[in-house]
Structure 1
Amino acid sequence: MSSVPRRYPVQINGQAVSSRELTPIAFAGFAHFTAMQVRNRKVKGMDLHLTRLREASVEFFGRALPDEQVRSYIEMAISEGPVDQSLTATVFSRGGEFTADSMDADPEVLVRTAAPSNGPEGPLRLDAIHYERPLAKIKHVGESAKTYYLHQAIRRGFDDAAFVDRQGRLSEATIWNLVFQDGETVVWPRAEILKGTMMGIVQRQLERAGIPQTHENVSLARLATLSGAAVMNSWTPGIAVTAIGLQEIPESASFIRLLHESLASEPARHA
């Protein structure tokens, strides 16, 4: 009997892997990753994804694989899967966690693919949680607090949670970057956050279009003066946010349209 081909490939270093090979890293907490949406076998912002993986590898492991090597693993998985898919590239060490062995082993790349996603419809109402993510600038695995606070927010009648740091500044949401609008200006939170690849795409396209942008300390009180709010991640450039905590925020269709137009302006390329 011939085996049924895997619809969505899972690979390590460009090679298909079995469940047995995946078992040792299934719960590994010392790894970092990037996530992207593939459409027609093309990706937007691949340069941002590669930069993220390289810089995080240097931070975590003291070394990084060449961009072209990582790109080849991603390209291989894309070519072997459906034309549209979600893809996650995770860089890990076989030395594992809670040990010095991970300081010496060369990093490796696990690439997983799944069905494509565009994220939830929205608008979303976010609970305001006082929390600061550890190593916030790195997209790393093992962050159970994000799911914990999501669950807590839902129990309190919200859709998700936004984080407030010890200085009273909004930083980001559980798996999202936050973005606001003040009149014609796009406002990004000034705080310790992960700069998302979607955030990077939108920022450079807004700059090219001449749309004013600023980074500000955004408090909960500041929300009352803003004309719109949204979350974004690798799924989508913008889902409207109509409340954070007890503060209602106007739903701005024009702001959401601007964010989506920014993504549309970014060229999609083969990995």
Structure 2
Amino acid sequence: MATLSDHPVTTDDLMPLALTSYGHFTSMRVDEEGRIRGLSLHLERLNRDSREVFGTAVDPDRVRAQVAAALTDRTGRCIVRITHYDPAVNLGRPADATKPELLVTVRPAGQLPPPPLTAMTVPYERDLPQVKHCGLFGLLHARRTAQLAGFDDALFTGRDGLISEGGTWNIGFIDTDGTVVWPQAPVLPGVTMALLQEQHADWKTAPVTVEQAKGMAAAFATNTSIGVRALSAIDDQPMPADHPLLAELRDAYLAVPGEEL
């Protein structure tokens, strides 16, 4: 069941979000014990993005309470999505959208790790890439383009030809010397990526061209739902999905303790 500020959501509640897509969100993976890796970072994201999108803060205690209520009587792993939007928003006066509310939805979570991913490079740059916003048309169109070409997802390149991020995930590379490299580009600051980066000060961020990406020893995607997922191909270039460092990265992510609501 979806809830909006503590009450069951109605069609009328959702209509403004459906018609405008003006809002932002975060998705969190809840483990079997009800803990959430990176909960503090998710709360920071909601607050940071709300100031950008609505000019207002988010009460973290309110978020915790609504998520806890949504998880009542649920068992097992799941993904909780918190969408922050103003049910009064309209196309003509988005400046009047100053009283956003919290929409909480829950869905089952898949097993970790998921199978390797194939990605096709697609020229695309997200609006406000630093914000996890609800404007998903461009990235879904890019994903559809990649899937129609036989790939699982799209890997975005900017106007400068550099790799940035995936459809709904960050990408990292393992260089031939064993160094982890994150693309230097305007990207969403992912929570899973941040949790991994906290553990390794020796990793680097650098511009990565498509050709450089295809020459890496391995590549992987990260987000809350998938953890660390190997890429088995970028365009027509196969990528090894069994590099030993990939297993280390998965283990490092799973070793991050979850936080209590």
Matched, 1:241 2:231: yes
Residue in structure 2 matched with residue 6 of structure 1 by the alignment: none
1:92 maps to which of 78, 85, 110: 85
Matched, 1:178 2:171: yes
Residue in structure 2 matched with residue 169 of structure 1 by the alignment: 162
Identity of counterpart residues, as a percentage?
Answer: 29
Question: How much does 1:255 deviate?
Answer: 2.4
Distance (whole Å) between structure 1 residues aligned to residue 141 and residue 215 of structure 2: 30
Gap runs ≥5 in structure 1: 1-8
Residue in structure 1 matched with residue 191 of structure 2 by the alignment: 197
Residue in structure 1 matched with residue 2 of structure 2 by the alignment: 10
Residue in structure 2 matched with residue 42 of structure 1 by the alignment: 35
- SS at 1:42's partner residue? coil
Question: How much does 1:35 deviate?
Answer: 0.4
Q: CA RMSD in A?
A: 2.0
- AA paired with 2:184? R
Count of paired positions: 259
Residue in structure 2 matched with residue 253 of structure 1 by the alignment: 243
Query: Is 2:26–2:83's contact at 8 Å kept on the other side of the alignment?
Result: yes
Question: How much does 1:117 deviate?
Answer: 2.4
- SS at 1:205's partner residue? coil
Question: How much does 1:105 deviate?
Answer: 2.9
Q: 1:121 to 1:264 in 2, by over 3 A?
A: closer
Question: How much does 1:237 deviate?
Answer: 2.2
Residue in structure 2 matched with residue 144 of structure 1 by the alignment: 137
Query: Is 1:223–1:249's contact at 8 Å kept on the other side of the alignment?
Result: no
Distance (whole Å) between structure 2 residues aligned to residue 154 and residue 68 of structure 1: 40
- AA paired with 2:233? A
Name the stretch that deviates more: 245-254 or 168-177.
Answer: 245-254
Distance (whole Å) between structure 2 residues aligned to residue 46 and residue 121 of structure 1: 22
Per-residue CA deviations over 1:80-110 (Å, capped at 9, x if unaligned) read: 4334321100000123142325535312100
Distance (whole Å) between structure 2 residues aligned to residue 13 and residue 80 of structure 1: 19
Query: Is 2:89–2:96's contact at 8 Å kept on the other side of the alignment?
Result: no
Question: How much does 1:154 deviate?
Answer: 1.8
Per-residue CA deviations over 1:217-257 (Å, capped at 9, x if unaligned) read: 01012124421101111112211112222333333431221
Query: Is 1:95–1:101's contact at 8 Å kept on the other side of the alignment?
Result: no
Name the stretch that deviates more: 20-29 or 154-163.
Answer: 20-29
Distance (whole Å) between structure 2 residues aligned to residue 239 and residue 104 of structure 1: 37
Name the stretch that deviates more: 118-127 or 177-186.
Answer: 118-127
